[in-house]
A and B are shown apart, each in its own frame.
Chain A
Amino acid sequence: MSVTHDEFTIEREYPQTPAQAFGAFADPALKERWFANPGNWSDAEWELDFRVGGGELNAGGAEAGRHNLFRSHFHDIVEGERIVYSYDLFHDRRLISVSLTTVEFLAGEGGGTRLLFTEQGVFFDGAVAAGEREHGSGRLLNRLGRFLAGEEV
């Protein structure tokens, strides 16, 4: 059983204002449209309680595919500027990672938004059994191959 720590930042520029970009995280009607169903899940569940002390839940999976569960807790919300939350991620009901996410809405070019999405996480290697692990990464490579070939994966 081992753990891996990982930290990365994804940066995005959007032409809309930081207040509008923030709104797409805060307004349930907007957030649901880009967040709630990442993989065309057949049974997606999604709930958002956007306030410090509240959280978000997103669960589901493709038919006959892996079941995914995301469960977060909001720690810090500064209107139009920053959102900090932590979350658990489960694959087939096994805890696979725990992460701390910081979303920063900075002034971008021409009144737009420079969004910084930083995630610091601990990933549990032991959450995947050894045989399944090799199988899993082989499957991932195969999917990667199909994806690169321009197929839907």
Chain B
Amino acid sequence: MATAPTLDSAFQALADPSRRSMVTRLSRGPASVSELAAPLEMSLPAVVQHLDVLQKSGLVRSEKVGRVRTCRLEPAPLRAVEGWIAEHRADLESRLDRLGDVLDATFGRDG
């Protein structure tokens, strides 16, 4: 059973480009481990290791039916309120980026 995810573990899991590409693939629907591995230039054990990090973060869960392990995004444990906070914070971050652009355009970069 996956542990309850926190924003920290979710962001940590997403800090890696290979894991992000796996999440991107899963956002389009469930996939087998070999389907997840196909576009990545890495060994299957390495893919399984990344998958393990994603599962521990609670973002992804998998189940084995016969010989095929199917992975899917697990949105339910990511509590909505944490999602809202992450979204809210991302919104503030992008406004402060735009503040930087407005300062540059108004005052120049030499201060």
Question: Which A residues are closer than 8 A to B by beta carbons?
Answer: 2, 4, 6, 8, 10, 12, 14-17, 20-21, 24, 30, 33-35, 38, 89, 91, 96-97, 110-112, 115, 117, 119, 121, 123-125, 128, 133-134, 136-138, 140-142, 144-146, 148-149
Contact = CB atoms under 8 A, between A and B. Distances in A.
Interface residues on B, range: 35 or more
A30 B93 CA distance: 18
B102 A30 contact: yes
A125 B100 contact: no
Interface of B is mostly: helix
Nearest to A135: B75
A10 B88 contact: no
Contact of B75 (A6, A14, A134, A149): A134
Interface string B73-111: 101101111111111110111111011111110110111
Interface in B1-41: 14, 20-21, 23-24, 26-28
Query: Which of A8, A123, A144 has the most B CB atoms < 10 Å from its CB?
Result: A144
Given A33-B98, A38-B95, A140-B86, 20 more contacts: A8-B89, A10-B96, A15-B109, A16-B103, A16-B107, A21-B103, A30-B102, A38-B94, A128-B80, A128-B81, A128-B84, A133-B80, A136-B80, A137-B75, A138-B76, A141-B73, A141-B78, A144-B23, A145-B73, A148-B21
B76 A145 contact: no
A145 B27 contact: yes
Contact of B24 (A4, A20, A140, A145): A145
Interface of B: 14, 20-21, 23-24, 26-28, 59, 73, 75-76, 78-89, 91-96, 98-104, 106-107, 109-111
A129 to B, nearest CB: 10
A75 B85 CA distance: 23
Contacts of A10: 89, 92-93, 96
Contacts of A119: 92
Contacts of A96: 84
Given A20-B103, A24-B103, A137-B80, A38 B91 contact: yes
A88 B35 CA distance: 45
Given A20-B107, A128-B80, A141-B73, A6 B95 contact: no
